[in-house]
Amino acid sequence: MQKKPIHRRDFIKKTSLLTAGLAAVQFPAWSRYVFAPGYPLHNIPGRKNIDSRWIKSLYNRGEATAYYKSKNELKYIGMPVGGLHAGTVYAGGDGRLWLWQIYNETFEGSHEGIEPKAVKWNDGTSERTIRARDGSAYIEPAIANNLRILEQGFAVKVVVDGKSFIKELNEDQWDEIIFKPAYPIATVEYKSKDFPVAVNLKMYSPFIPLDAENSALPATILRLTVNNTTGSHIQVSILGWMENGANKLSGKEGTGKRVNQGSSVTQSTNIFSFFDAANGAIKTAPDSGTVCFTLHHRNGRAMASISPWPVTEQHFELPATQSASVDAPEKLVGGISLKQDLAPGKSFTADYSISWHFNNPHPKLKDFVKDAEAGFRYGARFKDAREVSQYLNTNFEKLSTATELWSATWNNSTLPHWFLERTFVNIGTLATANTYRFADGRFWSWEGVGACPGTCTHVWQYAHSVARIFPELERDLRQRVDLGVGFKEDSGAILFRGEDETRPAIDGQAGTILRFYREHQMSADNTFLQTNWPKIKKAVQFMLAQDKNGDGMTDSPMENTLDAVWEGEIAWIVGLCIAAASAAHAMAVEMNDQPFANVCAQYVANGSKNMEKELFNGEYFIHRPDAVKGRKELGSYNTCHIDQVYGQSWAFQVGLPRIISKEKSTLALKALWKYNFTTDVGPYIKTHTGGRPYALAGEGGMIMNTNPHNEPKPYGENTTWQLGYFHECMSGFEHQVAAHLMAEGMVDESLILTRVIHDRYHASKRNPFNEIECSDHYARAMASYGTFLTACGFEYHGPKGYIRFAPKWSSADFKAPFTAAEGWGTYTQKQAGAKQTHALELKYGKLELKDIALEKIAGGKISSVAVTLGKTPVSVNFKQDGNALLLSFNKKITVPRDQTLHITFS
């Protein structure tokens, strides 16, 4: 039987029928106010009046972000610290874990663990009951203390000169707690005048770019360090505890017992938790599984059951016990303690971990995707949580060292700390219940946690970080879904939700073609492109066929990411298709398919020329309505739309030639800045009601679509519920624009836009690690990584051995991380008098290079160049074209791990 197509609008609650003229249509609650008579006047000021000193400060390296208890900045913090695709486990601001979305219950209306409630709305109405996807998660974020779910924590006991001091690691017991985020590692510092030692806690899961397997362990590491700041020898005891989380939701009275088993194995002490079920049905519940709490130290003391809180001195003296059980639904909490003598000025670290194993996907998930029937990838690798713990224990040093190396590499930069944080942090979406990897290795995702299934092409094509950090996941998605279960062999159409759809989306089709090229670039050789070229070519032919009149401008009505079928020639879709055709041309050339390369080149030439001629109104690019139907259907028409030059933005991400002239592209961005960006969205959303609140009064943002010239009925005659999107600030779209602004040299504007998003997610207001659009941890927000790439002027093509850097500021003293197909490291460039030096230092893996493109830092002509790999000179050919510098080696060279390629120009 054919499955019913699943669209985003099918998941949005419909309200009662509205006015008689719209009696046949139902609308979601959040858009009910867009249909008032008349249309509000555009009220975004053209002059932004931003303090120049503040703008200048955005360029400063600054200090690493820190959030403080004393400033009331801890309660919303939730950094994902579990493995990729293993559910959501948050590190809270005070170091305790919370949320625990590990039970396969992440579906609409249930994924937050809280019921919908009435909250204050921002459009002048009183209170309305809304749900996470309607904006409530932004207006009233989840609070850590409300969603601890499982008992977990630590206490430290210190004996100094015969006197005991005890504190639990929670917010109530310390004068000051400082949370320092450096995703994937969170560090929490604890300070009190009445406690004699310094305590800090690091929390993370192994996270190693280019190693998706070892970055996907269902486990969290907790590294607790105590430093003796006294002048005396002291005795330190650490107690860690963890609740038996097996069958947490389904373990009702009469269903069975919770059991803890304590043991010491090779260099570790652990408590293994499971559920002794009274019947078979309970074993197949989504929350049926195991948990393992481990101290990676042989001398720990395991206590299968410990007494309730608060922690007293007696807890540290409890005898070791090997087993304990309680009848469900009672809690069972086990603990592991460790004692250490510590000399003055010395410290010691206790490495704990929590691993889990819940390998029963929700029945609804199995309905969406049959691959879920066999369970998850981690379930295929490990039989239970104890095996996960054993793997972690065996490989602890390697996994921890590589994770901390990446964190140090990412943050060892001249770029501002806040900028590095905001452009990278959204990769944490992979470590939430938004993504899954099934037993057969297939990667699958919602759009946002529990909302809109099928790894949607027109959402995920905005996300740039996954392809650069874990490229194997994107390659698998291209092959297994876009060219597999979601591919129509007869036409070349790519169904935009894989098997959960029956139609393509035109922007998803074009964006996926661009992603084919990107995934090829992030490969070590041409195997991916060679293997998939016949289907890729067919997908391109389908896209080209949507240009019915042959002018290079797509004009076939098709679904797009704003959940409507728009008629006519739409600048952002036209430009995206042109960029995709340009990528197809590049791939065809590499595949020696010159006839098809010529077809694509002609499409690009016609499209670029006609887009600039027909769709540019002198200020910005527009939507030209269908010649017959006119403005009958919803569209952006003469309004100023956020994605109008998105195709050019994409072209910069993969190093394609320009598809829109710099002059008109820059004018369009300036129009977006003038008409759509505001430092305070309050006046706009007060008058332009109906959108969801992803930015509130007093916060800055870029509105999706505005009507600068106050045209009547600007969005067409038959306005529908999707019009509500136009009045919103969705961060994924904003990040896309910020990346493009950076690429075009509009650096001030790019940093300002990125910073207002960063400030919207400050910990004093909401969770800094959860950018929301139609549910939590929305995939589109991973577009933020594109801004980092354009700031570095980064381009890369693995099979060709080509890499480029052209920093957008501080070029005389610049340092930033980079990733490639088989390795990652640090790039630096400096100017000293008449010399400029460049270096690529490999920290992990290897880097194969044939061509290196750089820029002249200061004016003048280069007279000589010297290249060394380590201390060994390397022969190189050199060309200079203005400020563009190109180094070419006679054959590929390999930069191995812990080696540096030095380049000196004189």
Instruction: Write out the DSSP string of 60-85.
Output: S------EEGGGT--TT--EE-S-TT
Indicate whether 578 pLDDT > 80: yes
Give residue-wise pLDDT tens across range 396-448. Answer: 999 999 999 999 999 999 999 999 999 999 999 999 999 999 999 999 999 99
Q: Residue 334 and residue 680: Cα distance in Å, rounded?
A: 50
Give the number of other Cβ atoms within 10 Å of residue 655's Cβ.
17
Give residue-wise pLDDT tens across range 73-95. Answer: 999 999 999 999 999 999 999 99
Structure confidence at residue 132 (pLDDT): 54
Mean pLDDT of 729-752: 98
Structure confidence at residue 204 (pLDDT): 98
Which tokens in the block code for residue 85?
């695709």
Percent of the chain clearing pLDDT 90 (strictly above): 86
Q: Is 801 left (phi over 0), alpha (psi -120 to 50) or beta?
A: left
Alpha-helix residue ranges (DSSP H) falling in 688-816: 731-743, 747-760, 784-792
Q: Residue 110 and residue 113: Cα distance in Å, rounded?
A: 6
SS3 at position 571? helix
Going by pLDDT thresholds of 50, 70 and 90, the confidence category of residue 107 is low
* Residue 790 φ then ψ, to 5°: -75, -25
Is residue 101 within 8 Å of residue 111, measured between CB atoms? Answer: yes
SS3 at position 158? strand
Give the number of other Cβ atoms within 10 Å of residue 890's Cβ.
10
Tell me the C-alpha to C-alpha distance, in Å, between residue 403 and each of 144, 203, 359, 736: 26, 11, 26, 28
Going by pLDDT thresholds of 50, 70 and 90, the confidence category of residue 12 is very low
Sheet holding 67-68, edge to edge: 67-68, 176-182, 185-191, 197-204, 219-228, 347-357, 290-295, 268-277, 256-265, 323-327
Give residue-wise pLDDT tens across range 120-179. Answer: 433 333 343 444 567 778 988 989 988 889 999 999 999 999 999 999 999 999 999 999
Going by pLDDT thresholds of 50, 70 and 90, the confidence category of residue 325 is very high
Q: Residue 854 and residue 803: Cα distance in Å, rounded?
A: 9
Answer whether the bond into residue 184 is a cis peptide, omega within 30°. yes
Q: Residue 75 and residue 98: Cα distance in Å, rounded?
A: 11
Tell me the C-alpha to C-alpha distance, in Å, between residue 321 and each of 17, 313, 335: 64, 18, 10
Specify the DSSP element, H or E, that contains 509. Answer: helix 506-521
Which tokens in the block code for residue 312?
């007293």
Strand partners, 829: 814, 838
Structure confidence at residue 34 (pLDDT): 53
Which of 36-45, 304-313, 643-652, 845-854 is least confident?
36-45
Going by pLDDT thresholds of 50, 70 and 90, the confidence category of residue 718 is confident
Structure confidence at residue 38 (pLDDT): 72
Mean pLDDT of the chain: 92
Q: What is the DSSP string of 377-402?
A: HHHHH-SSHHHHHHHHHHTHHHHHHH
Residue with tokens 């006047």: 41
Which tokens in the block code for residue 514?
């661009």
Q: How many CA atoms lie within 13 A of 677 on its CB side?
A: 27
Structure confidence at residue 135 (pLDDT): 77
Give the number of other Cβ atoms within 10 Å of residue 124's Cβ.
10
Is residue 774 within 8 Å of residue 448, measured between CB atoms? Answer: yes
Mean pLDDT of 560-573: 95
Q: Residue 139 and residue 175: Cα distance in Å, rounded?
A: 29
DSSP 8-state secondary structure symbol assigned to residue 225 = E
Structure confidence at residue 834 (pLDDT): 87
Give residue-wise pLDDT tens across range 329-356. Answer: 999 999 999 999 999 999 999 999 999 9
Mean pLDDT of 549-575: 96
Indicate whether 669 pLDDT > 80: yes
Specify the DSSP element, H or E, that contains 428. Answer: none
Give residue-wise pLDDT tens across range 486-545. Answer: 999 999 999 999 999 999 999 999 999 999 999 999 999 999 999 999 999 999 999 999
Is residue 541 within 8 Å of residue 581, measured between CB atoms? Answer: no
Structure confidence at residue 25 (pLDDT): 34
Mean pLDDT of 614-629: 97
Q: Residue 221 and residue 309: Cα distance in Å, rounded?
A: 23
Going by pLDDT thresholds of 50, 70 and 90, the confidence category of residue 264 is confident
Going by pLDDT thresholds of 50, 70 and 90, the confidence category of residue 719 is confident
Q: Residue 780 and residue 560: Cα distance in Å, rounded?
A: 14
Q: Residue 41 and residue 585: Cα distance in Å, rounded?
A: 44
Answer whether the bond into residue 319 is a cis peptide, omega within 30°. no
Q: How many CA atoms lie within 13 A of 301 on its CB side?
A: 16
- 68 contacts: CB under 8 Å, gap ≥ 6: 74, 176, 177, 178, 179
Indicate whether 37 pLDDT > 70: no
